[in-house]
Amino acid sequence: MKNSKQTYKTRKFIILALLVIVGRLYDATTTYLYTPDLTNETNVLVKLFGAGWTSFAIIQTTLIVIIIYLLYFYIFKFKPVTPPEKNLNIKQFASYLFFNDTISFHKMFYKTTKNKTTLFASIGYIVSMTLISISFVVGTSTTFLIISDNYRKIYKQGIPYVLYGLIVGLIVYFTIKFFKIEYSKYKQPDNELDG
Protein backbone atom coordinates (compact mmCIF):
# COMPACT_ATOMS: atom_id res chain seq x y z
CA MET A 1 0.00 0.00 0.00
CA LYS A 2 2.79 2.42 0.91
CA ASN A 3 4.52 1.67 -2.39
CA SER A 4 1.36 2.42 -4.40
CA LYS A 5 0.95 5.76 -2.55
CA GLN A 6 4.55 6.65 -3.37
CA THR A 7 4.05 5.68 -7.03
CA TYR A 8 0.89 7.80 -7.17
CA LYS A 9 2.68 10.79 -5.64
CA THR A 10 5.62 10.40 -8.03
CA ARG A 11 3.36 10.25 -11.09
CA LYS A 12 1.34 13.19 -9.87
CA PHE A 13 4.47 15.27 -9.30
CA ILE A 14 5.97 14.42 -12.70
CA ILE A 15 2.74 15.22 -14.55
CA LEU A 16 2.18 18.52 -12.73
CA ALA A 17 5.85 19.59 -13.05
CA LEU A 18 5.76 18.83 -16.78
CA LEU A 19 2.52 20.79 -17.15
CA VAL A 20 4.13 23.79 -15.42
CA ILE A 21 7.12 23.64 -17.78
CA VAL A 22 5.11 22.97 -20.97
CA GLY A 23 2.58 25.68 -20.05
CA ARG A 24 5.28 28.29 -19.53
CA LEU A 25 7.05 27.26 -22.77
CA TYR A 26 3.75 27.46 -24.66
CA ASP A 27 3.07 30.93 -23.29
CA ALA A 28 6.63 32.13 -24.02
CA THR A 29 6.65 30.65 -27.55
CA THR A 30 3.35 32.22 -28.56
CA THR A 31 4.48 35.53 -27.03
CA TYR A 32 7.68 35.42 -29.08
CA LEU A 33 5.76 34.62 -32.28
CA TYR A 34 3.31 37.45 -31.64
CA THR A 35 5.69 40.12 -30.39
CA PRO A 36 9.40 39.23 -30.85
CA ASP A 37 10.49 42.62 -29.48
CA LEU A 38 7.95 42.47 -26.59
CA THR A 39 6.36 45.80 -27.57
CA ASN A 40 2.86 44.29 -27.37
CA GLU A 41 3.51 42.21 -24.24
CA THR A 42 1.13 42.90 -21.32
CA ASN A 43 3.22 41.10 -18.68
CA VAL A 44 3.76 43.35 -15.64
CA LEU A 45 7.53 42.66 -15.59
CA VAL A 46 7.86 43.86 -19.17
CA LYS A 47 5.54 46.86 -18.81
CA LEU A 48 6.83 48.20 -15.49
CA PHE A 49 10.50 47.28 -15.65
CA GLY A 50 11.14 47.13 -19.38
CA ALA A 51 12.43 43.56 -19.14
CA GLY A 52 13.83 42.12 -22.36
CA TRP A 53 13.91 38.47 -23.41
CA THR A 54 17.08 37.67 -21.43
CA SER A 55 15.83 39.00 -18.10
CA PHE A 56 12.34 37.65 -18.89
CA ALA A 57 13.80 34.15 -19.46
CA ILE A 58 15.90 34.33 -16.28
CA ILE A 59 12.92 35.43 -14.18
CA GLN A 60 10.63 32.78 -15.72
CA THR A 61 13.21 30.00 -15.24
CA THR A 62 13.79 31.01 -11.62
CA LEU A 63 10.04 31.12 -11.03
CA ILE A 64 9.55 27.67 -12.56
CA VAL A 65 12.34 26.14 -10.44
CA ILE A 66 10.94 27.65 -7.23
CA ILE A 67 7.36 26.60 -8.02
CA ILE A 68 8.38 23.04 -8.92
CA TYR A 69 10.44 22.77 -5.73
CA LEU A 70 7.46 23.98 -3.64
CA LEU A 71 5.19 21.55 -5.50
CA TYR A 72 7.67 18.77 -4.65
CA PHE A 73 7.61 19.91 -1.02
CA TYR A 74 3.81 19.85 -0.96
CA ILE A 75 3.46 16.39 -2.53
CA PHE A 76 6.34 14.56 -0.81
CA LYS A 77 7.33 16.41 2.37
CA PHE A 78 4.32 18.28 3.72
CA LYS A 79 2.90 16.76 6.91
CA PRO A 80 0.36 19.20 8.33
CA VAL A 81 0.08 19.60 12.07
CA THR A 82 -3.11 17.71 12.85
CA PRO A 83 -5.49 19.30 15.35
CA PRO A 84 -6.23 17.09 18.36
CA GLU A 85 -9.98 17.78 17.95
CA LYS A 86 -11.75 15.64 15.34
CA ASN A 87 -14.90 17.72 14.87
CA LEU A 88 -13.56 21.03 13.52
CA ASN A 89 -15.26 22.72 10.61
CA ILE A 90 -13.18 23.72 7.57
CA LYS A 91 -12.60 27.31 8.76
CA GLN A 92 -11.38 26.13 12.17
CA PHE A 93 -9.19 23.55 10.46
CA ALA A 94 -7.70 26.14 8.07
CA SER A 95 -7.02 28.40 11.05
CA TYR A 96 -5.23 25.55 12.82
CA LEU A 97 -3.15 24.77 9.72
CA PHE A 98 -1.85 28.32 9.50
CA PHE A 99 -1.91 29.62 13.10
CA ASN A 100 -2.00 26.52 15.34
CA ASP A 101 -5.32 27.62 16.83
CA THR A 102 -8.95 27.36 15.71
CA ILE A 103 -9.97 31.03 16.05
CA SER A 104 -7.64 32.91 13.69
CA PHE A 105 -9.15 32.21 10.26
CA HIS A 106 -9.67 35.95 9.58
CA LYS A 107 -5.92 36.59 10.14
CA MET A 108 -5.12 34.74 6.90
CA PHE A 109 -6.19 37.86 5.01
CA TYR A 110 -3.72 40.24 6.66
CA LYS A 111 -1.13 38.34 8.77
CA THR A 112 1.76 36.06 7.93
CA THR A 113 1.18 32.51 9.03
CA LYS A 114 2.93 31.07 12.08
CA ASN A 115 3.26 27.73 10.34
CA LYS A 116 5.80 28.21 7.51
CA THR A 117 5.58 24.61 6.25
CA THR A 118 1.87 25.10 5.58
CA LEU A 119 2.63 28.38 3.82
CA PHE A 120 5.24 26.74 1.54
CA ALA A 121 2.99 23.75 0.84
CA SER A 122 -0.01 25.93 0.03
CA ILE A 123 2.09 28.08 -2.32
CA GLY A 124 3.40 24.90 -3.97
CA TYR A 125 -0.11 23.68 -4.68
CA ILE A 126 -1.97 26.95 -5.34
CA VAL A 127 0.64 28.67 -7.50
CA SER A 128 1.53 25.60 -9.56
CA MET A 129 -2.12 24.83 -10.33
CA THR A 130 -2.85 28.49 -11.13
CA LEU A 131 0.27 28.75 -13.30
CA ILE A 132 -0.64 25.63 -15.25
CA SER A 133 -4.16 26.89 -15.91
CA ILE A 134 -3.27 30.47 -16.79
CA SER A 135 -0.28 29.51 -18.97
CA PHE A 136 -2.50 27.53 -21.32
CA VAL A 137 -5.24 30.19 -21.32
CA VAL A 138 -2.78 33.02 -22.05
CA GLY A 139 -0.90 30.93 -24.62
CA THR A 140 -4.16 30.19 -26.41
CA SER A 141 -5.19 33.85 -26.24
CA THR A 142 -1.85 34.83 -27.80
CA THR A 143 -2.29 32.16 -30.49
CA PHE A 144 -5.61 33.82 -31.41
CA LEU A 145 -3.83 37.20 -31.48
CA ILE A 146 -1.46 35.72 -34.07
CA ILE A 147 -4.11 34.15 -36.30
CA SER A 148 -7.24 36.31 -35.94
CA ASP A 149 -7.76 40.00 -36.80
CA ASN A 150 -11.18 39.89 -35.12
CA TYR A 151 -9.71 38.59 -31.86
CA ARG A 152 -7.06 41.35 -31.93
CA LYS A 153 -9.86 43.93 -32.06
CA ILE A 154 -11.75 42.25 -29.21
CA TYR A 155 -8.51 41.88 -27.20
CA LYS A 156 -7.97 45.64 -27.21
CA GLN A 157 -11.40 46.13 -25.63
CA GLY A 158 -10.19 44.74 -22.29
CA ILE A 159 -9.22 41.06 -22.59
CA PRO A 160 -5.98 41.63 -20.58
CA TYR A 161 -8.13 42.76 -17.62
CA VAL A 162 -10.28 39.65 -18.02
CA LEU A 163 -7.09 37.54 -17.91
CA TYR A 164 -5.88 39.31 -14.75
CA GLY A 165 -9.31 38.73 -13.20
CA LEU A 166 -9.07 35.08 -14.19
CA ILE A 167 -5.70 34.80 -12.39
CA VAL A 168 -7.28 36.17 -9.19
CA GLY A 169 -10.27 33.83 -9.59
CA LEU A 170 -8.01 30.82 -10.08
CA ILE A 171 -5.95 31.71 -6.99
CA VAL A 172 -9.15 31.87 -4.93
CA TYR A 173 -10.43 28.60 -6.44
CA PHE A 174 -7.20 26.66 -5.82
CA THR A 175 -6.85 28.14 -2.32
CA ILE A 176 -10.30 26.79 -1.44
CA LYS A 177 -9.42 23.48 -3.10
CA PHE A 178 -6.16 23.25 -1.09
CA PHE A 179 -8.13 23.59 2.15
CA LYS A 180 -10.74 21.06 1.01
CA ILE A 181 -8.03 18.51 0.11
CA GLU A 182 -6.27 18.91 3.44
CA TYR A 183 -9.57 18.93 5.32
CA SER A 184 -10.60 15.62 3.71
CA LYS A 185 -7.26 14.12 4.83
CA TYR A 186 -7.96 15.38 8.35
CA LYS A 187 -11.45 13.84 8.34
CA GLN A 188 -10.20 10.56 6.81
CA PRO A 189 -6.53 10.16 7.79
CA ASP A 190 -5.98 7.08 5.60
CA ASN A 191 -7.05 8.99 2.47
CA GLU A 192 -3.77 10.44 1.13
CA LEU A 193 -4.42 10.01 -2.60
CA ASP A 194 -6.81 12.97 -2.86
CA GLY A 195 -5.93 16.13 -4.70
103/85 Cα distance (integer angstroms): 13
The pLDDT score that the predictor gives to residue 53 is: 81
pLDDT tens string for the chain (195 positions)? 568 889 999 999 999 999 999 999 999 999 899 988 777 766 666 666 666 788 888 888 999 999 999 999 999 999 988 888 889 999 999 999 999 999 999 998 888 888 999 999 999 999 999 999 999 999 999 999 999 999 999 998 999 899 999 999 999 999 999 999 999 999 886 655 455
Nearest alpha carbon to residue 182 among 94, 69, 83, 70:
94
The pLDDT score that the predictor gives to residue 191 is: 53
pTM tops 0.75: yes
Tell me which amino acid residue 5 is: K
The pLDDT score that the predictor gives to residue 24 is: 95
What is the enclosing helix (H) or strand (E) of 20?
helix 2-34
- Residue 71: burial class (beta carbons within 10 Å; 0-12, 13-18, 19+): buried
